[in-house]
Copies of this chain bind each other. A is one copy, B any other.
């Protein structure tokens, strides 16, 4: 309940690891998985998503792997979540899927007030960068 997914956690751990080393250094999914004792296949999937989004740069083949694709100071936790989950962290479904997703949308009286919480939450995640978690 109300938790970040393992995928997001693994992604943040991996990004942090890369951010702690010289920019451009390449790491394989396998070594990252071993280092942090994380399921390799799952981490691999996460890194692939981050690669598709351009946050990390991937190179295939022998001696391939992943390297940071942009400045960790400009890389927010919000962005990372957004990429991995394919949506922003929203505290209510209707904020994501719209009116038709909620059977009580019209009679709901807390949507607007909770919007304030949502906005503050967005600010929270937007403020925190990968660089800051080092």
Taking the closest CB of chain B, its distance from the CB of A41, in whole angstroms, is 15
Interface size in chain A (residues, C-beta < 8 A): 39
Taking the closest CB of chain B, its distance from the CB of A63, in whole angstroms, is 25
Give the interface of A toward B (CB within 8 A).
Answer: 1-5, 9, 12-13, 16-17, 35-38, 77, 85, 87, 89-93, 103-104, 107-110, 113-114, 116-117, 120-121, 124-125, 128, 132-133
Query: Contact: B91 with A4, CB < 8 Å?
Result: yes
Query: Contact: B104 with A36, CB < 8 Å?
Result: yes
Query: Contact: B117 with A1, CB < 8 Å?
Result: no
Which of B2, B107, B114 is A35 in contact with, Cβ under 8 Å?
B107
- Residues on B with C-beta less than 8 A from A4 are 2, 91-92, 114
Query: Contact: A89 with B2, CB < 8 Å?
Result: yes
For the A-B complex with A3-B92, A12-B114, A121-B121 known, give 7 more contacts whose Cβ atoms are closer than 8 Å: A1-B85, A1-B87, A2-B85, A3-B93, A35-B107, A38-B104, A114-B133
Taking the closest CB of chain B, its distance from the CB of A4, in whole angstroms, is 5
Once bound together, how far apart are the Cα atoms of A127 and B119, in whole Å? 14
Question: Chain B residue with minimal CB distance to A16?
Answer: B109
- Residues on B with C-beta less than 8 A from A36 are 104, 107-109
- Residues on B with C-beta less than 8 A from A77 are 117
- Residues on B with C-beta less than 8 A from A114 are 4, 12, 133
